[in-house]
Amino acid sequence: MPIRRVIWIVLDSVGIGEMPDAAAYGDAGSDTLGNIAKHRPLQLPNLCALGLGNIAPLQGLPPASAPEGAWGKCTLASPGKDTTTGHWEMAGIHLAKPFPTFPNGFPAEIMDAFEAATGRGWLGNKAASGTEIIAELGEEHTRTGAAIVYTSADSVFQIAAHEEVIPLWELYKMCEQARQMLSGKYEVGRVIARPFVGEPGAFQRTPNRKDYAVPPPKGMLLDQLAERKVTVHSVGKILDVFLGRGIGPYDKTKSNAEGMAKTLEAMSETKEGLIWVNLVDFDMLFGHRNNVEGYARALEEVDAWTPTLRAALQPGDIAIYCADHGCDPTTPSTDHSREYTPLLVFGPEVRRAVSLGTRATMADIGQTVAAAFGTSIAVGSSFLADITA
């Protein structure tokens, strides 16, 4: 049967072992799945049945003798280790150089221009954890009205503001102004609005985050699908990463639980085409906060949901689990890690017990999706024939 629908789920930051150049990124020894499994026993029977334990040695997660799908791991061929780089590569965009990072904060010329454009002062301008910087500077922000600006090891310019001090419409406008000025050597991958609420000592970030990404180059997967009038239904932050290009129906989400629920809803609504999902809690709530227990529980929740997903698959469907980078919560770093990412492919049209090996690029996934809908992208090798022959 021809492929009618692909359900593609990105488990954000679920890496599966350091890449050969990990040390150059400060990530020697990073292994998100492997190290979590060593620190805390994982119960992932459904993912293991698909072949998770066949990808790499994982303590307590043995390989299946006859996996119920195809398995492998993907190399991030582009330099970098962030959301934009990983998702863009999946869609067929290889970066020649990484997006710039500013571990010591942004230069005076950028901050002066930001203050002039927005009419507000700023606090911070350093690399920091989002929760820690609002705890540190939130009270001064509420007193002065100055925006909290910070970055991380990733290519981001983040603006945090209390929703009762700088209303959302103004915060979003400030992000748009920052996006316009951050070009050339300052062109970060994303500008991110990080609103919060609450009182000193009890500030909490809200779900009203908004990302402003760099426009992806033309010709990537979503452009190719749009040309063929293939429906793309996105769930989670996929819409923001690609600025909505080639995307029709979409659902924003506030949690993995909502993302999984919205995926099932999308499957009931979109009977043909691509449903592309990002489940962000692994990264946002647990990886960046070095929360091993939270990360482990989130993995187990996706595992427990997997039979429901499989039951909703129809003839002509292919489902894919993958990731965009690592974010090992067991290391001292709170940043993303340069890791291989797992690849599990399953569904009514997928052969069982197929090893896909180590893919040279994440673009192999995008090329496979493209092939399923009768098109192609510039980079990557399709494994469609391997899983459906």
Instruction: List, for residues 65-103, the tens digit of each pLDDT value.
Output: 999 999 999 999 999 999 999 999 999 999 998 899 998
Please tell me whether residues 201 and 298 are part of one structural domain: no
What SS3 class is residue 285?
helix
Please tell me whether residues 159 and 289 are part of one structural domain: no
| Token pair belonging to 166 | 């700088």
Instruction: Note the pLDDT of residue 308.
Output: 98
Q: Domain count for the chain, please give it.
A: 2
Which residues lie across from 156 on neighbouring strands?
190
376: CB partners within 8 A, 6+ apart: 224, 367, 370, 382
User: How many C-beta atoms surround the C-beta of residue 75 within 10 A?
Assistant: 17
Instruction: Note the pLDDT of residue 186.
Output: 96
| Token pair belonging to 97 | 């150089």
Dist CA 64 CA 209 (whole Å): 40
> Which residue range forms the structural domain that includes residue 379?
5-97+215-388
Pairing of strands 70-74, 354-359: parallel
Q: Are 90 and 322 in contact (CB under 8 A)?
A: yes
Domain boundary among 195, 213, 231: 213
Judge whether 280 lies within some domain: yes
Is 1 a residue whose pLDDT tops 90? no
Which CATH number fits the domain that encloses residue 164?
3.30.70.1250
One-character DSSP codes across 61-106: -PPPSS-SSEEEEE---SS--SHHHHHHHHTT---SSPPP--TT--
Which CATH number fits the domain that encloses residue 222?
3.40.720.10
Please tell me whether residues 57 and 18 are part of one structural domain: yes
Please tell me whether residues 91 and 139 are part of one structural domain: no
Instruction: Note the pLDDT of residue 146.
Output: 98
Instruction: Note the pLDDT of residue 284.
Output: 87
pLDDT digits (tens, 9 = 90+) for 330-379: 999 988 999 999 999 999 999 999 999 999 999 999 999 999 999 999 99
Q: What is the mean pLDDT of the chain?
A: 96
Q: Are 348 and 200 in contact (CB under 8 A)?
A: no
Is 315 a residue whose pLDDT tops 90? yes
| Token pair belonging to 121 | 């002062």
pTM (two decimals): 0.91
Instruction: Note the pLDDT of residue 69.
Output: 96
Average pLDDT over residues 26-34: 97
Judge whether 102 lies within some domain: no
Instruction: Note the pLDDT of residue 152.
Output: 86
Average pLDDT over residues 245-268: 97
